[in-house]
Structures are given as structure tokens and as C-alpha cells.
Amino acid sequence: MPDLPSRSPAAQHRRDLVARSAIGILAQDGVRALTHRAVDASAGLPPGSTSHVARTREALLTLVVDALAESTLVDSGRVATWLDDDSSPLSVEELADHLAGLVETLAARHDDMRARYALIIELHDSPTLHAKLTTGSEVHATARRIATAALRRAGLPHAGSDVDELLGLMESLVFHRSAIDEQSPAHAILHAYLRGRASTRT
């Protein structure tokens, strides 16, 4: 099957602009405020431009979800690369440092995280998109791989339930820093949690 033609730089720039503008609207005003016309206005584009990029509302939401996932994969990919390149043992302190750094990096993308949480709440009637924002995504699979490898290198329990617990904690920390308190102590919380896990290992 022949490869599909790639988009021109101008077309890709337009898609990126539409996606970023839509994310900004979601973060500031919520899902109900997201319309093609609102994106045109926010992006400074002529009327109808967003419809040319994403004809339907579902297509626009898909564009946003894909953009959010792409950014998160870049951030988490840095940690994954570090884990792949270095197999030496990790101390609890070192692991807390790296995981807290990822939490802080994700939470620093304020609009992205707020848009993601708004979509998670609203998109229960769209299982495919909801899954791409939660446990059915490449982002989640990458996060599980990172957490499993990190726990293993630190000599901590790394069964599926252990990984789920750590990811749940990190998700909570990202949400808290994004939506409640930008200064919440991610490192201290992760260090205390990991130290507790270390004390119970057999």
C-alpha cells in the first residue's frame, strides 16, 4: 500500500494552530465553549478555517486529543529514553527525583492538563476519545512501561497493581498541581510513598 502524502508545512502549521487554540478554549472556558467559530476567532483565522481542518466537532475533538497525546509522549519519552539507556540500580531518592520531574513537567503545561481533564469529564459518551485520554492510549502504555522499569530498577515491587498505584498517585499529583496548588510538593510526596513501599518489600 503506498504511503499517504505528507502534509505541507503550511497545512501542518494550520492544524497545530487550530489544535493549540482549541486547547486554550477548553482550558479557559470548558468543552461547551469549543466551537469552530470560537477557534477561528482565537487563532486569528478567517471564518471557516477550522472547518477546513476539522470538518465536524468530533474531528476537532480528535485533533485536540491527538495533540495532547503527542505532547505528553514527548515529555514521557525523555524519561523512557533515560531508563532504556541506563540499567544501573536506582535509589528511592533518585527515583523520586525523576518521577517528580515528570510530574512537574506535565503540570507546567497548564492549558494542556486543564483541557485534558475537561475532556475526560465530558467525553464519556465517546468511548474511543475517552480511552485515548485515559487507559486506552499510547500515553498510558508508555507510562506503564516507565513505571514498571523504574520500580524494578529501584528494587521495588513492580507487579501490575504496584504500577497502577504509582500511576494513580502521579496522576493525582499532576491534577493537584494543575488545578489546585502549583506549589504542591510532588517530590516529598513521591519520596514518602516510595520509601514506604521500600520498607514493605520482602
* % of residues, the chain, pLDDT over 70: 95
Asked if pLDDT for residue 65 goes beyond 50, the answer is yes
**CB–CB of 38/25 below 8 Å?**
yes
Cβ pair 139, 69 in contact under 8 A = yes
Q: By mean pLDDT, which of 111-115, 135-139, 161-165 is the weakest?
A: 135-139
Rounded to 10 degrees, the C-alpha dihedral 118/123/128/132 comes to 10
Query: What integer pLDDT is reported at residue 113 of this predicted model?
Result: 97
Read off φ and ψ for residue 88, nearest 5 degrees: -70, 155
Contact at 8 Å (CB) between 70 and 15? no
CA nearest neighbour of 69 among 126, 150, 128: 128
